[in-house]
A = this chain, B = another copy of it.
Amino acid sequence: MILTIREVDIKTGKREIILNEDDSKKLGVQPGFRVVLSKKNFKRIFFASVSSTIIKSGEAIVSPDSGLKKGDVVDVSNAPPLKSTEAIKKKVYGNKLNADEIRAIVEDIVDENLSHIELASYVTAIQTVDLDDDEITYMIDSMVSTGESIKFDYDVYDVHSIGGVPGNKYALITVPILAAAGLRVPKTSSRAISSAAGTADVMEVLARVDLSMEEIKKVVDGTGAALVWGGALNLAPADDKIIRVEQPLGLDPQAQVISSVLAKKRSTGIGTLLIDIPMGEDAKVKNEGEARRLAERFIRIGTRIGIETSCAITYGGQPLGRAVGPAIEAQEALRALEGKQTSNSLIVKSIELASILLETSGVVEKGKGKDISRSILSSGKAREKMLEIINAQGSRGIEKSDDIELGKYVEEIASPTDGYISYVSNKAIVEIARTLGAPFSKKAGVWVSKKIGDKVEKNEGIFILYSENRDRLENALRLSRKLRLYEIEGMVLESIHGDLYKTLRGVKK
C-alpha cells in the first residue's frame, strides 16, 4: 500500500507509524503489528498505531529519527516473521541459543525491530533462565561487530563497577589518580540502569560525556584519561537499547552485565581491566560465594576474549560515601578531590582500586600502589588532572564542589529516637532517589547524613531529600514511610566505617 508521510512526529520510544483505520484494515494490521516501510534505498520495520481522526487514508505519521521526512512516499506492507523472536521464545523455554540466534537477537535490537514487549521478555528471560559462557561470548561478539571500535596506539587500562551500590562515584577520583600516575584510561561508562545515577550521569554534571570517537581519542591523547558515556560512542549499540527496557523494569541481569561490560571494553581496545564487584545484603551480589562466582565468570570470559581481567570484591552493604544522585555525587567527588572533609569509605575505595591497577600494570612496584595513589590525591594532582579532563571534554563551568546546585525542594528525614544506625537500605535509597527524579533530573538526590555505626539523636536528620518537583518530593516522603529505609539500635554492635572497609583482591590469571 502506497502512503505519503504527512508528519514526522510523536515520540513514543519506538519506531512507529500511525495509519488511518481503513488503511490498517486493508493491510490486515492491528495496533502493535510490525510493518515494513520501503522506498528507494530505504527499507525499515515500523510498529503500527491506528487512528481514525488525526490521519486520513493514504497518509501516515511516523516517529522522528526514523529516516523518513515529510512528503516521502512509501510502500507499506506486512513484515515477515523475525528469526530473533523465535530465538527469544526458545530462551524463555529454557534452551541454549547458538551463535546465529544470538546474532539475530542483537541485530534486531540494534535495528530496533523488536517491540518493547519482546525486549522485556528477552531481558526477563536472561535474568531468570541465564546465559552460559558460550552464549555470553556469542553475545559479546555480536555486540562488538554491530558497533564501532576505537584503536589507541598505546596500551589502555580501565576500571569498571558492576554497580548495585548507590553513590558509587569512585571513578571520578580513581581515574584522575591513574592518569596522573601515567596510565591511559579511556573510561566509558553507562547511564543509570536500575540505580539512581550511573557514572556517565554523574560526570555529565561536570562535563560533556557524549563525545565522538575522534573527541575521546583527542582527550585521552591530551590528558591521559576520559570519563565518557559509552552509549554515545556506538561501541555496543545493542546495550543502550536494552537499557531502555531494563530501566523501567529495574532489572540488570548478570549475563547482560558481563556481555555489555566486556563488549564495550573490547571495543575500546582495553588490554587490562579491573572489575569492581560491590557485595552486601542489599547490593546486586549478596555474599562472598556469589561474588567469587561472578568474579570467576568475568575472569574466565574476559580471558577467553583476550582481556587481562581482575576483580575486586568491595563492601557494598550501604551507599558509598554519602551522596546518591547525579549532581550531589559529582559534588561529593569534587570535595574528595579538593581534600575537603568527606566520607572515608569513598576515599579508601577510590585509592584501593587505583592501587590494584597501578600495580597490575607494572608502573608501580607491588605494595606501593596505595601510598602512591594517596599522595597523588592529597597533593592535589588528582584534582588538577580531573579539571584537565573536564576541560578537555567540555566543561559545564563548574570549577569547584560549591558551584554545584541541587534540587530546590528539600526535606529532611529525622530520627524518631536516640541510638546508633544499624542498617541503611541501598534499595530503599535508590527507590527514593528515583522517585525524587534521579537519574533524569540531575539535581534530584539523597544525602545520607548518618551511616551504619553513626550515633543519632532524636529529631536529628538522617537523610536529606532533594528534588526539582514538589509532587516527586511528596511521593518520595510518602514512600520513605512505607519502606524499611534504616534501622536504629541502642548501642554500637560493629562499626563498619572507612577503616574496616573490606577489599578482596580478585584472582588474576
Binding site for B on A (CB under 8 A): 7, 9-13, 16, 18, 27-28, 30-32, 49-54, 61, 77-78, 80-81, 85, 89, 92-94, 115-121, 123-125, 127-129, 245, 248-251, 431, 435, 437, 440-441, 468-469, 471-472, 475, 478-479
Contacts and interface: CB of A to CB of B under 8 A. Distances in A.
A124 B16 CA distance: 24
A128 B49 contact: no
Contacts of A53: 7, 9
Task: Give the one of A18, A30, A93, A117 with max B CB within 10 A.
Answer: A117
Contacts of A78: 469, 471-472, 475
A95 B53 CA distance: 46
B472 A28 contact: yes
B92 A127 contact: yes
8 contacts: A12-B32, A28-B469, A32-B248, A78-B469, A92-B249, A118-B248, A120-B120, A124-B125
A52 B437 CA distance: 22
A118 B471 contact: no
Task: Give the one of A7, A93, A125 with max B CB within 10 A.
Answer: A125
A210 B45 CA distance: 34
Contacts of A249: 89, 92, 117-118, 121
A167 B109 CA distance: 34
A18 B10 contact: yes
Given A7-B53, A92-B127, A77 B32 contact: no
Contact of A121 (B49, B81, B121, B129): B121
A329 to B, nearest CB: 19
Contacts of A437: 28
Contacts of A440: 28, 30
A51 B11 contact: yes
Contact of A81 (B124, B431, B441): B431
A103 B117 CA distance: 23
B435 A81 contact: yes
Contacts of A128: 92, 94, 124-125, 128-129
A118 B121 contact: no
B51 A10 contact: yes
Contacts of A472: 28, 78
A117 B80 CA distance: 23
Contacts of A51: 9-11
Q: Which 7 A-B pairs rank lowest in CB-CB distance, beginning with the nearest?
A: A128-B128, A120-B120, A124-B124, A117-B120, A121-B124, A80-B475, A13-B31
A54 B9 contact: yes
B475 A81 contact: yes
A479 B125 contact: no
A177 to B, nearest CB: 35
A155 to B, nearest CB: 39
Contact of A251 (B7, B13, B31, B121): B121
A97 to B, nearest CB: 14
A50 B50 CA distance: 17
Given A12-B12, A120-B118, A435-B81, A89 B250 contact: yes
A71 B333 CA distance: 50
A120 B116 contact: yes
Nearest to A478: B80
A483 to B, nearest CB: 10
A121 B50 CA distance: 25
Task: Give the one of A77, A94, A121, A478 with max B CB within 10 A.
Answer: A121
Contacts of A28: 437, 440-441, 468-469, 472
